[in-house]
C-alpha cells in the first residue's frame, strides 16, 4: 500500500476509536447537524422553507441540557423575490427517561432571533418555540434525532404567527 492509503486508513481508525468508541466516558458537549422544513402555515407572503444548520450543546445532567442553534434557508416570497431566512435561538431540553436505552424522548422550550432578509420587504424579530423529539443511539457518541416544534412569530409583523417545523439530523458527543 502506498503512504496515502495508509494515512487514510490510519485516520479512519483514529476517528473510529475516538469519536465513535463504545467507551462509557461521559461526554457533556454535543454537536448536531440538522435539516428540515419550517412550515409557514399562517403566512400569506411565505411558503415552507427547507432549513439547514447546526447546534452546539451542553449536557448538564442526563435529563437536562441546553444548546444554541443556527439554521438558514432560502425561498421566494409571494412576489417571487428570492431571500434568506435565518434563525438563531437557544433551547432547553428535558429528557423524559433518566436512564435511556436506545430512544431518548425529550421536550424543549426556547426562543431567539428570526430574520427574513432580502425579500420584497425585510422582516425580523423575536420568536419562541416549544416542541418534542427523540434521539436514537447508534453508539455512545453518535445519535440520530428527529423533532417537531411549534414556534410563534406573533412579535413580528408577518400577518401570521403560528408555525410548525420538523427537524432530523445527527448528534455527535465529544
In a domain, 22, yes or no: no
pLDDT for 116 equals 85
For residue 8, what is its C-alpha cell? 487514510
In a domain, 20, yes or no: no
Q: Measure the CA–CA gap between 74 and 72, rounded to whole angstroms.
A: 7
In a domain, 8, yes or no: no
pLDDT for 101 equals 79
pLDDT for 117 equals 85
Give the CA diameter of the chain.
63
Q: Which stretches in the chain have pLDDT values below 70?
A: 1-25, 42-45, 159-160
In a domain, 134, yes or no: yes
**DSSP designation for 155:** T
Contact status, residue 17 vs residue 11, Cβ threshold 8 Å = no
Express each pLDDT in 137-166 by its tens digit: 999 899 999 999 998 887 777 766 788 999
Look up the CATH number of the domain holding residue 120.
Answer: 2.40.160.20
In a domain, 9, yes or no: no
Domain count, the chain: 1
Q: What is the pTM of this model?
A: 0.79
Residues in the chain: 174
Residue 146 belongs to domain spanning:
29-173
In a domain, 19, yes or no: no
Residue 92 to residues 131, 135, 157, Cα–Cα distance (Å): 11, 15, 26
In a domain, 13, yes or no: no
In a domain, 23, yes or no: no
Amino acid at each position: 500500500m502506498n503512504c496515502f492509503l495508509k494515512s487514510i486508513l490510519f485516520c479512519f481508525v483514529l476517528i473510529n476509536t475516538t469519536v465513535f468508541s463504545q467507551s462509557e466516558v461521559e461526554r457533556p458537549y454535543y454537536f448536531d447537524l440538522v435539516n428540515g422544513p419550517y412550515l409557514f402555515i399562517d403566512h400569506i407572503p411565505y411558503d415552507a422553507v427547507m432549513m439547514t444548520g447546526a447546534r452546539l450543546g451542553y449536557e448538564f445532567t442526563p435529563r437536562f441540557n441546553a444548546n444554541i442553534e443556527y439554521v438558514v434557508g432560502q425561498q421566494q416570497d409571494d412576489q417571487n423575490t428570492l431571500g434568506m431566512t435565518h434563525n438563531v435561538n437557544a433551547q432547553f431540553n428535558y429528557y423524559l427517561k433518566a436512564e435511556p436505552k436506545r430512544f431518548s424522548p425529550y421536550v424543549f422550550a426556547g426562543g431567539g432571533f428570526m430574520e427574513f432578509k432580502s425579500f420584497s420587504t425585510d422582516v425580523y424579530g423575536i420568536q419562541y418555540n416549544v416542541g418534542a423529539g427523540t434521539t436514537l443511539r447508534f453508539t455512545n457518541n453518535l445519535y440520530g434525532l428527529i423533532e417537531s416544534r411549534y414556534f410563534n412569530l406573533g412579535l413580528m409583523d408577518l400577518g401570521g404567527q403560528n408555525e410548525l417545523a420538523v427537524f432530523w439530523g445527527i448528534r455527535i458527543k465529544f
